[in-house]
Amino acid sequence: MKKSITISNVQSWKQKRKFAVITAYDASFAHLFALNGIEVILVGDSLGMTIQGHNSTIPVTLKEMIYHTRCVRRGAPSCFLLADLPFMTYTTWSQACDSAAKLMRVGANMIKLEGGSRLTGIIKKLTIQSIPVCGHIGLTPQSVNILGGYKIQGRDKDSAEILLNDAIALEKAGIQLLVLECVPIELAKNITQSLKIPVIGIGSGSYTDGQILVMQDILGITDKHAPSFAKNFLLQQGGSIAMAIQLYIKEVETGLFPSIQYSFH
């Protein structure tokens, strides 16, 4: 049986190599991704858009996240598995602990939540209860109604400084990974170099320690509104999903993806 990937493995990669992460929502795709070299999978609340057809992640429930996390774990028993806490399921530390425990009981190795320094109290409580946490700043899809849409974050000096301070505060509070979404490449580089923990980028340039993409974007089955930072790896491999995943991993590890074409300044 293949040895399971742990948080210690993932954290050690910051000093050794870049790594690729992908979303998955069911056992069959999770199994295929694992067979072709994926070591870290996110069960994202992006399923609200990719699986359920909503225009945001907000309708996704904890019950649905539990179901999909259980499915993905069955398909990829050795992968390091992240699972999103959906909208309004971590407003207090007790609610966050309860929500996170339910996801971990069905196979998640770590939970992910969205937000900056305002969450430090909740993160500290989670880590005290032996719940590993991944932070998520920059473009946070659960805040789309406050942000006014899916927009690049941290483009001016003040907002960039806020994001950097948020990242540092979250690390001090106890997060062990950080997802950085849709920020300029220069800011992503600064945040990545300022933290001791691995930073996983999405639409944030090539200087982060890892990259994550939604599986539908990698496989070119997103509709005409696919994000500009996403690359269709299936198109380059003549329709082979296995080869598309292998190419994605190779380009992330060698720094070819994301290129300038898939980054913001």
Q: Which amino acid is at 49?
A: M
The per-residue pLDDT for 223 is 66
Is 181 an active-site residue? Answer: yes
Give yes or no for a contact between 248 and 21, defined as CB atoms under 8 angstroms apart: no
Q: What are the boundaries of each domain within the chain?
A: 7-262
Q: Which amino acid is at 250?
A: K
- How far apart are the C-alpha atoms of 110 and 132, rounded to whole Å? 5
Give yes or no for a contact between 141 and 114, defined as CB atoms under 8 angstroms apart: yes
In this structure, what DSSP letter does residue 84 have? E
C-alpha distance across the termini of the chain, in Å: 44
Question: Which is it for strands 80-84 and 40-43: parallel, antiparallel or unpaired?
Answer: parallel
The per-residue pLDDT for 228 is 87
Active-site entry in 39, 114, 171, 181: 181
| Crossing angle for the helix pair 157-173 and 185-194, to the nearest 10 degrees | 30
Give yes or no for a contact between 198 and 210, defined as CB atoms under 8 angstroms apart: yes
Phi-psi region of 148 (alpha: psi -120 to 50; beta: other; left: phi over 0): left
* Cα–Cα separations (whole angstroms), residue 185 to 3, 203, 264: 34, 9, 6
With 0-12 / 13-18 / 19 or more C-beta atoms within 10 angstroms meaning exposed / middle / buried, residue 265 is exposed
Cβ count within 10 A of residue 208: 25
- How far apart are the C-alpha atoms of 57 and 260, rounded to whole Å? 28
Give yes or no for a contact between 196 and 171, defined as CB atoms under 8 angstroms apart: yes
Q: Assess if CATH 3.20.20.60 describes domain 7-262.
A: yes
The per-residue pLDDT for 29 is 98
Provide the β-strand partners of residue 210. Answer: 19, 200
- How far apart are the C-alpha atoms of 162 and 148, rounded to whole Å? 18
The per-residue pLDDT for 27 is 98
The per-residue pLDDT for 224 is 59
Q: The whole model's pTM is what?
A: 0.96
Q: Residues near 260 by Cβ (< 8 Å), separated by ≥ 6?
A: none
- How far apart are the C-alpha atoms of 56 and 51, rounded to whole Å? 11
Q: Residues near 101 by Cβ (< 8 Å), separated by ≥ 6?
A: 129, 131
The per-residue pLDDT for 65 is 98
Residues of the chain with pLDDT under 70: 1, 223-225
